[in-house]
Amino acid sequence: MSDPHSYLDVLARVLALPLSEGLVSSDERFHAASAGADTLIVDVEQRRYHRVFDARPLRFEDTVHDGVAQASLQIEHSDGVRTIALAAQDDSFWTPLPDPRVIGLPRIVQRHDTSWTSPAPPPSDAPQRTSITDWLGSLVALAVLAFFAAFGFDALRWSLEGGWNLLWLLVGLPVFPIFTVMTLAGAYGFFRTSAPPRQALNAIDVGRDERFRIGEPLAFRVDATVPASVGDQPAEPPPQIFARLVVQRVNDKEDGSWWVGNLGWDADPADCVPSTLTGTGEPHVHYASTVTVSRNTPRAAQERWFLTLSASQEPGTEPFHVTSLATPPSITPYRIVQQPDRLTQLDALLDSEVWALVRTAYNGEDGTTSFDDFTPEEYRAVFTVDIEALVDHAMATRWYEGQIKTARVGGDSTLYLLKEGPAYKVMFTERWWTESLYESTDLRSAVARYLVANQFCVRRLPGAQALEIPAPYSDMRPDSAPSVSATDETPPQPSNSDASSRQ
C-alpha cells in the first residue's frame, strides 16, 4: 500500500469521494484505490480511468497473455472476488480523466459544527499494565512496601518494652511513616480508575473578518461554552485552536497540461481565554488570532479559498470548522517613492543588497515590510538596467576577481566560478558531488552566466533569459524567489489526505 497517485487524487476530488491508500502495478502503469464504497482505476500512460461500483481493490497481479506479462487487478465484490485484465480492455472500458479547467474545481464541503468532542482518548496518568508480568510486578512491589511499613510498626511496638529495646525506636520512627505513605500511594496508583477530562466545546460560534485581502491579516474569533460532561467524563476546552488558510488552484502549464494543488498558511496558535457568562455562571471560552497571505502569492484563473480550524496540528486531524471565503481581489501594487539611480542599482545587484534597495525604493525608511511583501513584478520595476550593463559594470570594477576559485570547493548548494587552465567554469556543489554547469575560455561569458544563475533578480533583467544555464534540479537556486509552502489538506473531505496533483 502507498499514497494514491496524483491522478487518483484529482479524480477523487472531482467526484467528491474519500480516497484510501493506493495500489500500483509492477510496471507502474496502473494505479487503483478505494474511493468510498467504489474502486477507482487509472491508466497513467493513457490518462484515463475506470470506476467499479461497490467493490474494493485487493492486489495487482502479473499474468502472461501470448507470452507478454500484463497487469491484472483483483477486486472484491459482495458476490465474490474477480480479476480484471487491464491491458486487455478496449476503449469502451475506459473514460478520459476529467479536466478541472473545463469542469471547474471540486466543491468545498463546509463544516460549521456547533459542538465538538476530541476523538482522541484523553491521556491517563494511571499506570498501563499490558501483561501478567506487569500485574505481578506491581503486586510484589506493593507487598514489599506493606512489609516494611509493618516492620516499622513492630519496631515502634518493641521499643515500648524499654531498656535496650529503645534502640528499635531509631528504626521505627523513620521506617513506619515513610513506608506507610509509600504503601498508601502505591495502593492508590494500583487501584485507581479515574480518567482526566476529555476536550470538548459546545455552542461554537466562529467569526471572521469579511474584508479578506491578500497581504493583510485575516482575523478570526471562536466563542464557545464548555459542556459539563461528555458521557461519564468531565470536559475541558482545548488549550489552543489552530487555523489554516488555504487556496485551491488549477494552473495551466506551457505544455498544455494542468496542475491542481493547495497552498496554505498557518496562523499563530490561538490560546484559550476563559470567562464566565454574567448571571449564568456557565464557563465560556474565546480564541482569537490572525493569518496573513503573502502578497507575492501567484494567482490562477480558478481559485477557491477556505479557512479551517482544528484543535491539533497532528497530521490527519479533522477540522471542526471548514468555511469558504470569497476570492480576494488582486493586490494594490506598491508605488515607487524613490527610484534608485543606475549606479546604485548595479552595485546592489553585485553586492547582494537587492532587498534593502527594493524596500528603500518603495517605502523610503519604512522598515515594517518584509522580503515576502513584494511581488516579482515589483522587484523588476526597481531595476532599469539590463544584463549587459550589469556585466559591463562587473568587468569594469573587476568584481569577478573575488568570485573565482582556483580549486574545487565543497558545500551545500554552492555556486562559484572556477579557473582551470585556460577555461572558466560555473560550478555547482552539493555535499559530495560537484558539477560544471557552464565552461568557456571567455571570462566575460562565464561571469555573465554566473550572475544570472546566482541571483533571481538578475534573472529578471532584460536579456538575462538568453544567458540562463541548465540547473541540476529545479530548486537549485541559492537565492530563489520567495514562495509559499504547499499543503496537503483536503477541502472537500478534511479527514483525507489531499496531496498536490499533476496531469
C-alpha torsion 492→498→499→502, nearest 10: -50
Distance CA 477, CA 467 (A): 15
Cell numbers found for residue 85:
485484465
| Neighbouring residues of 390: CB distance < 8 A, sequence distance ≥ 6 | 346, 349, 350, 451, 458, 461
Q: SS3 sequence, 398-414?
A: CHHHHCEECCCCCEEEE
3-class SS of residue 352? coil
Instruction: Work out whether strand 404-405 and strand 411-420 pair parallel, antiparallel, or are unpaired.
Output: parallel
> Residue 445: phi, psi to the nearest 5?
-65, -40
Cell numbers found for residue 313:
496540528
Cell numbers found for residue 287:
480564541
Residues in the chain: 503
> Is residue 82 within 8 Å of 52, Cβ to Cβ?
no
Distance CA 139, CA 97 (A): 64
> Is residue 13 within 8 Å of 492, Cβ to Cβ?
yes
Distance CA 351, CA 457 (A): 12
| Neighbouring residues of 269: CB distance < 8 A, sequence distance ≥ 6 | 240, 241, 242, 289
Q: Going residue by residue through the chain (503 aa), what tens digit of pLDDT does each one get?
A: 566 777 887 788 788 888 887 898 888 889 999 988 899 999 988 889 999 999 999 989 887 766 667 888 999 988 889 888 888 888 899 998 888 778 777 777 788 989 998 887 666 555 666 678 777 877 888 888 888 889 888 888 888 888 787 888 888 888 888 888 988 888 877 776 556 788 889 999 999 988 888 888 999 999 999 888 766 678 889 999 999 999 988 877 777 777 777 888 999 899 999 886 655 667 899 999 999 888 888 888 888 899 999 998 887 788 999 999 999 988 888 888 888 999 999 999 998 888 888 888 887 656 667 777 788 788 888 998 999 999 999 999 999 888 898 888 877 778 889 999 899 999 888 877 788 889 999 999 999 999 998 887 888 889 988 898 876 654 444 333 333 333 433 333 333 333 333 33
Contacts of 56-62 with CB under 8 Å at 24 or more apart are 57/23, 57/32, 57/33, 59/23, 60/23, 60/24, 60/25, 60/26, 60/30, 60/32, 62/25, 62/26
